Structure 1
């Protein structure tokens, strides 16, 4: 039995999120269906680095699975892609050691969020970025973002119904930069709580809109109170961009 890790990209528009749900089209469902076809009807479960919500995209989601089929990694990539729908693609496949776990061995992640600003929305990006009509104060947002860098209890930036008890996470970098007619917000850290990035983005939008001062981020963090932060930004602007692992897992 060999274990493989795959990097996936998917357009989340027509998915009800990553995780299998009864009667719903999900990323996990279509990938497991593809593997089941390759394995002649035998169910082959996959494990991901984490879940994404409905309409959330991924450029670099990572999964792992086990198989008794002997193929080189290039053949695996071709075989899986031949069975996947057009809105999911395998970017690469690696053999990994038998203890590798896509979720528990992740040492860091990067998320990106895209905001399109202008008088009218970009019809071609309506499912891939969030449109805001009014101009945003980008320097104020950049100043506010600096308060997030470091190790903090992010209870105020986490969905109130989460079951996770330890809400301490470390954000190593936040970048907010114009890219064409869009604003790209990038967040890197050792891990992220449920809706954490979307709540942070929603709060930063309020800073950029003049509804909050940049320095309020510090007080929001200290409050540990979800009600003190901004609204949760829409899912379709969010991308799971990259998942990082130690190279030792990819020795085979």
Structure 2
């Protein structure tokens, strides 16, 4: 068997997330359907680096899969790209060793979250940026977002009922900027891993801080208390992008 690593991008609007689900359209299922055709009707299991939720997009999701024989990587990329759905793109493919695993090989992830705070909103971007119709102050959000950097227990920023026991993660980058062309707010987070809905919950909290309904110190309060009830609401998934995954050499 030969193992391949691929970088993929997708428009998450019409996907029910990455992971295969019964009677739902998912990224994993579409990839496996295409690989089934390319592998003469023999099933191919696709493994992803992360399980993006329904409506969430990706520029740089990473997958791996095994095929029984070596293929020309560009021909394989082209075949997957052209025979798969239009809202899913194969950016690159390379052959890797059997030790590589897209999920378990040590890596860091970067997510972006776009917020449309315009008056009125941009209807063309309704599936690609979360609309927030209330007044926002940048300075409190930019001050508060820095409190997320470091190694913390992020229990207060994950969805209730998650099965993950260890909720300690390290965030190496947490920034907020305004895109000069669109005027959208761009939240960027990099780290060694993220819990279920963690990014969306952090953004929801920061937006309430920017709107003056929570104090700048609320990020610290949530981290210290580990209480999900003290954080803001979960921001909609349509503004979230898995931007990049970097593996250690």
Q: Is the 8 A contact 1:207 1:214 kept in 2?
A: yes
Q: Distance in 2 between matches of 1:234 and 1:147?
A: 22
Per-residue deviation at 1:156?
Answer: 0.3
Instruction: Show the counterpart of 1:15.
Output: 15
Q: List 4+ stretches of structure 1 deviating above 4 A.
A: none
Q: Are 1:158 and 2:133 an aligned pair?
A: no
Q: Are 1:45 and 2:45 an aligned pair?
A: yes
Alignment of 1:208-247 (within 5 A): 208-247=210-249
Q: Distance in 1 between matches of 2:11 and 2:36?
A: 22
Q: Distance in 2 between matches of 1:161 and 1:56?
A: 21
Per-residue deviation at 1:120?
Answer: 1.6
Between the two proteins, the alignment pairs up a number of residues equal to 247
Instruction: Show the counterpart of 2:184.
Output: 182
Per-residue deviation at 1:139?
Answer: 1.2
Root mean square deviation, CA, Å? 0.9
Q: Distance in 2 between matches of 1:95 and 1:151?
A: 34
Per-residue deviation at 1:246?
Answer: 1.9
Instruction: Show the counterpart of 1:33.
Output: 33
Alignment of 1:113-124 (within 5 A): 113-124=113-124
Gaps of 5+ in 2: none
Alignment of 1:63-74 (within 5 A): 63-74=63-74
TM-score normalized by structure 2?
Answer: 0.97
Q: Is the 8 A contact 1:10 1:58 kept in 2?
A: yes
Q: Distance in 2 between matches of 1:164 and 1:124?
A: 37
Q: Distance in 1 between matches of 2:115 and 2:219?
A: 20
Per-residue deviation at 1:103?
Answer: 0.2
Instruction: Show the counterpart of 1:99.
Output: 99
Q: Distance in 2 between matches of 1:122 and 1:45?
A: 39
SS in structure 1 at match of 2:86: coil
Q: Distance in 1 between matches of 2:206 and 2:239?
A: 14
Q: Distance in 2 between matches of 1:141 and 1:114?
A: 14
TM-score normalized by structure 1?
Answer: 0.96
Q: Deviations for 1:81-139, whole angstroms, at most 9, x for unmatched residues?
A: 12111100000001111110000014210000000111122121110001122331111
Per-residue deviation at 1:10?
Answer: 0.4
Q: Deviations for 1:185-219, whole angstroms, at most 9, x for unmatched residues?
A: 00001110000000000000000111111112111
Q: Distance in 1 between matches of 2:69 and 2:131?
A: 46
Q: Is the 8 A contact 2:19 2:27 kept in 1?
A: yes
SS in structure 2 at match of 1:99: coil
SS in structure 1 at match of 2:148: coil
Instruction: Show the counterpart of 1:148.
Output: 148
Instruction: Show the counterpart of 1:200.
Output: 202
